[in-house]
Amino acid sequence: MSMEADYVIVGSGSAGSAMAFRLAEAGKSVIVIEAGGTDAGPLIQMPAALSYPMNMPIYDWGYTTEPEPHLNNRRLAAPRGKVLGGSSSINGMVYVRGHARDYDHWAESGADGWAYADVLPYFKRMEGWTAGESDWRGKDGPLTVSRGPRTNPLFHAFVEAGAQAGFETTDDYNGEKQEGFGAMEATIRKGRRWSAAKAYLEPAKKTGHCTVLRGLAEKVVIEQGRARGVAVARSGRTDVVRAREEVILAASAFNSPKLLMLSGIGPAAHLAEHDIEVIADRPGVGSNLQDHLEFYVQQACTQPITLYKHWNLFSKAILGAQWLFTGTGLGASNQFESAAFLRSKPGVEYPDIQYHFLPFAVRYDGKAAAEGHGYQAHVGPMRARSRGTVRLRDATATAAPVIQFNYLDNEEDRADFRHCIRLTREIFAQPAFDPYRGKEIKPGASVQSDDEIDAVIAEHAESAYHPCGTAKMGRRDDPMAVVDADCKVIGVDGLRLADSSIFPRVPNGNLNGPSIMVGEKAADHILGRKLARSNAQPWINPRWQDSDR
């Protein structure tokens, strides 16, 4: 194959695949470099099997954090997809745009042209929404977005309980009104995971303008201040893939800053520690790391209606066969079919708490099923103040980066988390759950004081796997900005970066949707075009200054 193209993209994930398709569609030649292999396995394609791929070294980079000081020095799993489609091939498939105000905040903090009015047209362009008609949604885009059947009565009990507690309900949290309880959406098409590889990369290859090169990107080749290509390790040797126009990094919030630093772009003192020549001193590279931390509040269920009844090899085999041959049944859902976005207190303008509801009490990695029937809500604050870093372990491309989130480093973050636990108990105590409610499994009814709740959070909170912010977008005179509003890396010509790394602040929800949007919009910046701004005004709770509901 040719080792030269107009554009060389590192990473075939959410943003990388979207850019590859839009550039190829415009007639540009594209080479996508991907360290991982095929996404063809049934454990990736079956939505209900979502806990497996992110725990499999064949699909996952296998990163872990450094000991987290406020989480009992635990090392948390920090999975990222090492496979075609990147993390969109191993994630939970939950689709959330984020709140309109998230993007207005991006623009206010220096990402000019990335306000909600600017990004909404890109969300609409990318969506193939199957759940009805709405001026807020896109129907014809490559990314199928669907809703689960919600046949389990617990999904409806959760929404009803929210209303009984005085909170809003919403028909579409990705539309005009995010705030409230309602149906959750997923990137599932005809009972199968609809990853960025399926939605974008396969169509890009069919244009004849896009090829995928399997190999590990070692660094960006920079000559006289301009990115000219990427050094790629494959088959025991290093080749240089040349870019006639630009090199584009889309390798994740961990690997994109790592590649920048290996290429001489980053904090000068840190690069000097590893004897890397400094090409551009950008202290923001690897800083500003953010995530969503969550806790699984688990309640025993008095009726045998939860997924626990399928937690045995015989039932799994039957469900797997049903899905394999028909694409239907419980295997065709990620089981996250109800959700909520709430505000934590009066004076908070838009939601800062997210819920995923699951009719089962189990850990995300599938390792610790509760004893018997239960249900759970994944809950956590959406806009934590704590910030972390990604740093080099050494000067080689094969070494895992040093990842430190500093979760709960801020006292307000800890207070917000305690509130999330207590609020979930209030929701689970509503009449809608009376027919189902058994004992509280976790944290457990005896856990009541601030200190007791803090202790259980420190022992059991887990990452929601939403890392971002490590190469933030901002104005060129912002010393901590890494890319400008056109996604151009500041200080080097011919180099862009477009993935969740560039988010100035973590959006309100899961990150696959926003990451794909960034890829869509960045492609238009590269091609010198843009969609017209939207005049749509999102719903903001008229009681936001006086009430949390």
Span 99-134, pLDDT tens digits:
999 999 999 999 999 999 999 999 999 999 999 889
pTM over 0.95: yes
CA distance 456 to 269: 38
The pLDDT value given to residue 530: 95
Spell out the residues 6+ positions from residue 352 whose beta carbon is closer than 8 angstroms to its own: 342, 343, 344, 381, 382, 383, 416, 508
Q: Is 184 annotated as a binding residue?
A: no
Is pLDDT above 70 for 205? yes
Residue 478 has pLDDT above 90, yes or no: yes
Q: What is the pLDDT of residue 250?
A: 98
Annotated binding residue 91: yes
Task: Please tell me the predicted confidence (pLDDT) of residue 482.
Answer: 98
Distance CA 323, CA 537 (A): 41
Question: Which of 162-166, 322-326, 443-447, 478-482 has the lowest average pLDDT?
Answer: 322-326
Q: Is the pLDDT assigned to residue 369 strictly greater than 80? A: no
93 marked among binding-site residues: yes
**What are the phi and psi torsion angles at 14 (to 5°)?**
-55, -50
Per-residue model confidence (pLDDT) at position 366: 63
Helix (H) or strand (E) holding 126: helix 116-126
Predicted confidence at residue 476, as pLDDT, reads 97
User: Has residue 10 got a pLDDT over 60?
Assistant: yes
Q: Which of 318-322, 430-434, 464-468, 489-493 is predicted least confidently?
A: 318-322
Tens digits of residue pLDDT in 27-43: 999 999 999 999 998 99
List of residues 6+ apart from 547 with CB closer than 8 A: 346, 541
At 363, the pLDDT band (50, 70, 90 cuts) reads confident
Indicate whether 354 pLDDT > 80: yes
Is the confidence at residue 312, as pLDDT, over 90? no
What CA–CA distance (Å, rounded) separates 63 from 61? 6
Percentage of residues in the chain having pLDDT higher than 90? 94
Q: 226-251, pLDDT tens digit by residue?
A: 999 999 999 999 999 999 999 999 99
| Both tokens assigned to 352 | 């800062």
What is residue 1's predicted lDDT score, i.e. its pLDDT? 63
Please determine, for residue 370, whether its predicted confidence score (pLDDT) is greater than 90. Answer: no
Token pair 């976005």: residue: 341
| Mean pLDDT lowest among 51-55, 284-288, 448-452, 473-477 | 51-55
pLDDT, tens digit, 9 for 90 and up, residues 125-159: 999 999 988 999 999 999 999 999 999 999 999 99
Burial of 474 (0-12, 13-18, 19+ CB in 10 A): buried
Predicted confidence (pLDDT) per residue in 454-465, tens digit: 999 999 999 999
105 as an active site residue: the answer is no
Quote the pLDDT of residue 362. Answer: 85
What's the pLDDT at 364? 64
- Residue 474 CA to residue 480 CA, distance in Å, equals 8
302 CB burial (10 A radius; 0-12, 13-18, 19+): middle
Q: Does the structure show a pLDDT above 60 at 368?
A: no
% residues pLDDT > 70 (the chain) = 99
pLDDT given at position 218: 98
Per-residue confidence at 51, pLDDT binned at 50, 70, 90? confident
Domains of the chain, each with CATH number or no CATH:
149-183+293-381+408-460 (3.30.410.40)
Q: What is the mean pLDDT of residues 474-482?
A: 98
Q: Spot the catalytic one: 356, 460, 466, 525.
A: 466
Is 35:12 a contact under the CB 8 Å cutoff?
no
Share the mean pLDDT of the chain: 96
**Tens digit of each residue's pLDDT (9 = 90 or more) over 243-273:** 999 999 999 999 999 999 999 999 999 999 9
Within 13 A of 243's CA, how many CA atoms are on the CB side?
28
Q: b/e per residue, 46-82, with b = 16+ CB within 10 A?
A: bbbbbbbbbbbeebbbebebbebebbeebebbbbbbb
Q: Are 533 and 143 in contact (CB under 8 A)?
A: no
Q: How large is the average pLDDT for residues 158-176?
A: 98
